[in-house]
Chains A and B, each alone.
Chain A
Amino acid sequence: MAYKPQYYPGATSVAANRRKHMSGDVEKLREISDDDLTMILGHRPAGSDYRSTHPPLAEMGEPECSIRQTVEPTPGAKAGDRVRYVQFVDSMYNGPSVPYFRSYGAAIKFRGVDPGTLSGRQVVEARERDMEEVAKFQIETEMFDPALSSLRGATVHGHSLRLQEDGVMFDMLDRARLEDDGIVKMHKDQVGRPIDKKVQLGKPMSAKEAAKRTTIYRVDNVAYRSDKEVIEWVHRVFDQRTKYGFKPE
Chain B
Amino acid sequence: MSDTSSDTTKHLQLEIVPQRLLRPETAQGLLNEILDLEGVVRLFVHGPRLPGTVPYGPAKGTPLVHDSRRLIEIEGKTVELMVSVGSIRLEVTDADVKEQVHEICEKILPFPFEFREGNFMLRRQTVSGYARFGPDQDPLLVGITDPKGKLKDQVCFIKDE
Contacts and interface: CB of A to CB of B under 8 A. Distances in A.
**Pairing of A with B:** yes
Interface of A: 153-155, 157-158, 161-167, 170, 172-174, 177, 191-194
Nearest to A194: B62
Among all A-B residue pairs, the 7 with the closest Cβ atoms: A154-B57, A192-B59, A174-B66, A193-B59, A192-B54, A165-B23, A191-B59
B48 A172 contact: yes
Contacts of B84: 164, 170
Contacts of A163: 20-21
Interface of B: 18-23, 26, 48-51, 54-59, 62, 64-68, 84, 86, 110-111
Determine the main DSSP class of B at the interface with A: loop
Contacts of A166: 23
Nearest to B19: A162
A174 B55 CA distance: 13
A173 B48 contact: no
Given A155-B56, A162-B21, A194-B62, 18 more contacts: A154-B54, A154-B57, A154-B58, A154-B59, A157-B48, A161-B86, A162-B20, A162-B86, A165-B26, A165-B110, A170-B48, A170-B84, A173-B54, A174-B64, A174-B68, A191-B54, A191-B58, A192-B59
A155 B57 contact: yes
23 contacts: A153-B58, A154-B54, A154-B59, A155-B54, A161-B48, A161-B86, A162-B18, A165-B21, A165-B26, A165-B111, A170-B21, A170-B48, A170-B84, A173-B54, A173-B59, A173-B66, A174-B66, A192-B54, A192-B62, A192-B64, A193-B58, A193-B62, A194-B62
A131 to B, nearest CB: 16
A165 B56 CA distance: 26
Contacts of B51: 172
